[in-house]
Structure 1
Amino acid sequence: MPYYLLTVTASRRTGLGLQVEPAVRIRALAARVKDSDVPMPGDRLLLLRPDTGTWWIAPLAGFGLEAWRKDGLVYTRSDPADPEFTLAVGGRGGPEEVLPVGTEIWLDDNAPTRGHRTDGWRRIIAGIASGDWRQTDPDAVDTTVTDR
C-alpha cells in the first residue's frame, strides 16, 4: 500500500532535483510508515497531479534533514526535537511542469530500496536527537550546504 507523504505547496529546481515544500515531519511519518519503508534515493514516488487527476511515476532524488555547517557548528531550520525532512524529486522539467501546486506525493512501498539500508526510523530519529544542532533561519547565517 503506498504511503502519503505530502501535497506540494511549492517546488524549485536544485542540484538534486525538484526540492519540494512543505517539509515532512519525521515523527508523524514514522508513526504510519513501516521501518522497512524509510524513503531512500532511487525509490519510486507516485505523483497524483491535480490538473489531470492522473498518476505519474518519478524517482526520489533526496530525502533528508536540510542542514549546513558554519564555524564547526551544524545548523538546521528544522526543530531537532521534531525534525522535518526535505524531499527532492528526480526528473527533468520545471516545477510547474512536473510538480504543480496541489500535486500529492506518495511513496510506493514496492519501491526498489524498501529502506533496508537505514536500520529504520528509530535510528534516524535518535541520531538527530543526539546531535549537537542549532536551529536557525538559513538567512540569518552565512551558510555552506553540506551533507550530514
Structure 2
Amino acid sequence: MPYYLLTVTASRRTNLGLQVQPTVRIRELASRVKDTDVPMPGERALLRRPDTGTWWIAPLASFGLEAWQKDGNFYTRSDPADPEFTLALGGKGDPEEVLPVGTEIWMADKTRTSAQRTEGWRRIIAGIASGDWYQAAPDSVDTTITDR
C-alpha cells in the first residue's frame, strides 16, 4: 500500500533533479511508516496532480539531509534533534509543469531494499542526533544532499 510523503508547495531544478518543498520531518514520517520503508534513490514516487487528479510515476533521485562538512564539522539547515530531509525527483521539464503546487507525492512500500542500506529510520535519526552536527544559518550557501 503506498504511503503519503508530502504535498508540493514549490519545486526547482537542481543538479540532482527536481528539488521539492516542503522538507519532510523524519521523526513524523517514521512515526507512521514502517522502519524498513526508507525511500531510496531509484525507487518510484507516485505523483497525484492537483489539476487532473491523475497519477504519474517519477524516479526518486535523492531523499536526504541537506548537509555539508566544513573544518571537520557537519552542518545542516535543519535541526539535528528533529532532522528534515529534502526530496529530489528525476525527470526533465519545467518544475512548475512537472510538479505543480498541490501535487501529492506518495511512495510505494513494497520494496525492502532500504533496510539493508540504512537499517531503518531509528538508525538514521539516532545517527544524526548523536553526531557532531550543527545547525547552520538559514542563509548559508554550502549545501549538498547527503543520503543517509
Deviation per CA, 1:80-139, whole angstroms, max 9, x where unpaired? 111000000111112112100000000111247355422111111111011111112252
SS state at 2:113 partner? coil
Other-structure match for 1:135: 135
Answer whether contact 1:23 1:85 (CA < 8 A) is retained: yes
SS state at 1:143 partner? coil
CA RMSD for the aligned pairs? 1.8
1:68 aligned onto 2:76: no
Other-structure match for 2:22: 22
SS state at 2:63 partner? strand
How does the TM-score come out when normalised to structure 2? 0.91
Structure-2 separation of matches of 1:85 and 1:146: 9
Q: AA paired with 1:15?
A: N
What number of residue pairs does the alignment pair up? 147
SS state at 1:100 partner? coil
Other-structure match for 1:85: 85
Q: AA paired with 2:5?
A: L
SS state at 1:47 partner? strand
For structure 1, which segment, 14-23 or 62-71, has the greater mean C-alpha deviation from structure 2 after superposition? Answer: 62-71
Gaps (5+ residues) in structure 1?
A: none
Other-structure match for 1:124: 124
1:41 aligned onto 2:41: yes
SS state at 1:35 partner? coil
Shift of 1:42: 0.8
How does the TM-score come out when normalised to structure 1? 0.91
Runs of 4+ residues over 4 Å off in structure 1: none
Q: AA paired with 1:94?
A: D
Q: Among the aligned pairs, what percent are the same residue?
A: 76
Q: AA paired with 2:54?
A: T
SS state at 1:45 partner? strand
